[in-house]
Amino acid sequence: MSAELVHHAGAPLIGICGRVLSFADEGRRDAFSSSQPYSRAVAKAGGLPVLLPPLPTAPRMVDTYLDRLGGLLLPGGGDIEPHRYGREIETDALYGMVGLHDEFDLALVHAAIERDLPVLAICRGMQVLNVSQGGTLIQDLESEGHWMNEHPVVVDGSSRLAEATDSLRLAHCYSVHHQGLDELGAGLVPVAHDEHGLIEAVEYTGATWVVGVQWHPEDTIGVEQGQLGLFREFVRRSAAHAAGSPIRDR
């Protein structure tokens, strides 16, 4: 077993929202899935990743899940159904919409914020975070600049993100998204932008540590220390929450 996947005593459980697959390699059965880089990044940072399967009953079980977790990771995935943020479908570019995923993710983030659980929201996850607080989305950016593309991001020096990454400029931000934030949800503040002014990260002011990034930091933890630093700070916060210890800023 890889050393990064070995469970160390005291490692906090980090819940990662699963996704439904209609076909699994082991046969003609449905499956629950999660992209491996999320779990590998959490494990490398010292956490213990666990899959939260989106069962039909799962949205009613969020408190049972969160009682056992130190932190919550909202991952990427397909688009959010526009009615979740009060809009009609405006483009044919929407893809991968699954109502159960939306319902589960939104229920989890609401409950996590209520109990001040550390949250790291990635790509779709940041969009879920925004929608959960009443924000809206740009349904299609109509640009290839953020679809399977690596680009720099400028970080606000007073942010939790800057503290975690120890950087004001991240050079290796790998993006796979065609949507962006439009109206910001209540309590969310932008803390990073790309060179064109697109919001690349947000933080929620009503909680101790809730950070959303539009790119995929898990994909470049091996080439930029700040990307791994984000996961390490997330796991550090999660460990303190699980232990019931006061959160100490560095």
The single residue of 172, 216, 224, 233 carrying the catalytic annotation is: 216
177 among known catalytic residues: no
Give the angle subtended at the CA of 123 by the CAs of 146 and 248, to the nearest 5°. Answer: 125
Nearest 5°: phi and psi at 227?
-65, -40
Cβ atoms of 46 and 235 closer than 8 Å: yes
Element (H, E) at 86: none
218 among known catalytic residues: yes
Strands in the chain per DSSP E: 13-17, 19-21, 31-33, 48-52, 71-74, 119-122, 137-138, 147-155, 169-176, 180-181, 188-193, 199-204, 210-213
> Whole-angstrom Cα distance, residue 231 to residue 237?
10
Strand 71-74 and strand 147-155: the pairing is unpaired
The single residue of 163, 200, 203, 218 carrying the catalytic annotation is: 218
Q: How far is CA 236 from CA 25, 133, 184, 211, 216, in A?
A: 35, 25, 27, 14, 19
Helix 124-132 to helix 99-114 angle (10° resolution) is 60
123 among known catalytic residues: yes
Cβ atoms of 159 and 170 closer than 8 Å: no
**Active-site residue numbers?**
123, 216, 218
